[in-house]
Amino acid sequence: MKAIRIHEDGGPDVLRYADRPDPGVRPGTVRIDVHAASLNHIDLFLRRGLPGITIPLPHIPGCDAAGVVSEVGGGVDSVRVGDRVLVNPTVSCGKCEFCVRGDASMCLDYHLIGETIDGTCCEQIVVPAENAIAFPDSLSFEEAASIPMVFVTAWRMLVTRARLRAGEDVLILGAAAGVGIACIQIAKVAGARVFAAASGAEKLKLCRELGADVLIDYSKEDFARRIREETGKRGVDVVVDYVGKDTWVRSLRSLARGGRLVTCGATTGYNPEEDLRHIFFRQLQVIGSTTGSRNELLAPLKLIIAGRMRPVVGAVFDLEDTAAAHVAMEERRALGKIVIRVRKTER
Ligand SMILES: [Zn+2]
């Protein structure tokens, strides 16, 4: 099969288009003919090299995929050959105390497809059967491939961890990026008022189309000041901040008393200034979150299939052009998810 492989850390030029042996199916796993994959920020971090995470090299990147089941291993009855499936990237043991209580992304043996094990930027992938989730013809492979990582992450952040409720106010930073797009829609379905912060008119227009109530161009104005104005100095109940270093203190300042700041990443840096006075005086909660369980992906998928939310495909690149796709992501050019087309099919 064809695959993208990384042999060393570095820039987009370390992504090589290469031939690899077809992967073999084991009991409890399925093989998927990948039709589309999609990019996430973690792909950039892993390609450049992350302190603290050792990636066995060479490595196939990519966490998200959609395709067709081509073979099932022994004991698998959840999907069949020919099923259209998308891939939940979180691999967990299913047995530890965290898995048993439904927190697969807290598993003591947590893996992410495309992180510490080979990923989806290739023609065939073998995954545990429970990671393959069937989806209907109403979604294209490119749409389906742009769902798992961002929707499972957004659902766990807003619904499971921050416990967002109807009538609450939520500020979403990076609202036109992949996770932001999912957060806007989940927050609207939950009945919250959404303040969307993004850079530039085009991105804010997308936020509006997805249901955002208040638009903030944070490349031009101080979002914390705007939040105080819009809420009569009260602040919002929840802030979603995966921007990190550039926005952290202003995110704390944007919260109402007792408010919750939830984070799943730090695209501008993980060592922000902190101001503990905000946290104790105003009784704030800082909540971490990462990826999610099968159920935390099934929930948003059900709403997408019902037409109440939608994935946003911003750009499509062929597998051999994955390096160009990484450049587009680094330059934040795409409006929505960047998808890698692995096989050229109608839907
Ligand atoms: Zn576990």
Residue found by looking up tokens 């199916």 in the block: 25
Q: How far is the CA of 91 from the centre of ligand 1 (A)?
A: 9
Q: How far is the CA of 24 from the centre of ligand 1 (A)?
A: 24
Q: How far is the CA of 89 from the centre of ligand 1 (A)?
A: 14
Judged against a pLDDT cut of 70, whether residue 99 lies above it is answered with yes
The tens digit of pLDDT for each residue in 248-292 reads 999 999 999 999 999 998 888 889 888 899 899 999 999 999 999
Q: What is the pLDDT of the chain when averaged over all its residues?
A: 95
CA 294 to each of CA 129, 157, 244, 317: distance values in angstroms, whole numbers, following the listed order: 11, 14, 27, 28
The pTM of this model reads 0.96
Helices marked H in 1-73 — which ranges? 41-48
pLDDT bucket at 347, cuts 50 / 70 / 90: low
The predicted pLDDT at position 275 comes to 85
Q: How far is the CA of 93 from the centre of ligand 1 (A)?
A: 4
CA 332 to each of CA 41, 176, 203, 293: distance values in angstroms, whole numbers, following the listed order: 10, 10, 11, 28
Count Cα atoms within 13 angstroms, Cβ side, for 192: 26
More confident residue, 42 or 50: 42
The pair phi, psi for residue 150, each rounded to 5°, is -75, -35
Judged against a pLDDT cut of 80, whether residue 52 lies above it is answered with no
Mean pLDDT calculated for residue range 210-230: 97
Q: What is the DSSP string of 178-200?
A: HHHHHHHHHHHHTT-EEEEEESS
The tens digit of pLDDT for each residue in 162-219 reads 999 999 999 999 999 999 999 999 999 999 999 999 999 999 999 999 999 999 999 9
Mean pLDDT calculated for residue range 81-89: 98
Judged against a pLDDT cut of 90, whether residue 130 lies above it is answered with yes
Burial of 18 (0-12, 13-18, 19+ CB in 10 A): middle
Total count of residues recorded for the chain: 347
pLDDT bucket at 89, cuts 50 / 70 / 90: very high
Q: How far is the CA of 92 from the centre of ligand 1 (A)?
A: 5
Q: How far is the CA of 305 from the centre of ligand 1 (A)?
A: 29
Helices marked H in 169-275 — which ranges? 178-189, 201-209, 223-230, 248-253
Q: How far is the CA of 13 from the centre of ligand 1 (A)?
A: 36
The predicted pLDDT at position 47 comes to 94
The predicted pLDDT at position 345 comes to 67
Q: How far is the CA of 36 from the centre of ligand 1 (A)?
A: 28
Mean pLDDT calculated for residue range 90-104: 95
Q: How far is the CA of 65 from the centre of ligand 1 (A)?
A: 23
Q: How far is the CA of 290 from the centre of ligand 1 (A)?
A: 15
The predicted pLDDT at position 184 comes to 98
Q: How far is the CA of 94 from the centre of ligand 1 (A)?
A: 5
Q: How far is the CA of 292 from the centre of ligand 1 (A)?
A: 12
Cα–Cα distance, 32 to 231 (Å, whole number)? 49
The residue among 220, 188, 183, 228 whose CA lies nearest residue 201 is 220
Contact 123, 141 (CB under 8 A): no
The predicted pLDDT at position 273 comes to 87
Q: How far is the CA of 189 from the centre of ligand 1 (A)?
A: 30
Q: How far is the CA of 95 from the centre of ligand 1 (A)?
A: 5
Contact 262, 289 (CB under 8 A): yes
The residue among 232, 207, 233, 231 whose CA lies nearest residue 218 is 207
Q: How far is the CA of 98 from the centre of ligand 1 (A)?
A: 6
Cα–Cα distance, 99 to 93 (Å, whole number)? 7
Contact 260, 283 (CB under 8 A): no
The tens digit of pLDDT for each residue in 307-344 reads 999 999 999 999 999 999 999 999 988 899 999 999 87
More confident residue, 275 or 137: 137
- Region label for 167, one of left (φ > 0), alpha (ψ between -120 and 50) or beta (otherwise): left
The predicted pLDDT at position 268 comes to 86
Tokens of 87: 């891939």
Mean pLDDT calculated for residue range 235-244: 96
Q: How far is the CA of 177 from the centre of ligand 1 (A)?
A: 30
Radius of gyration of the chain (CA): 20
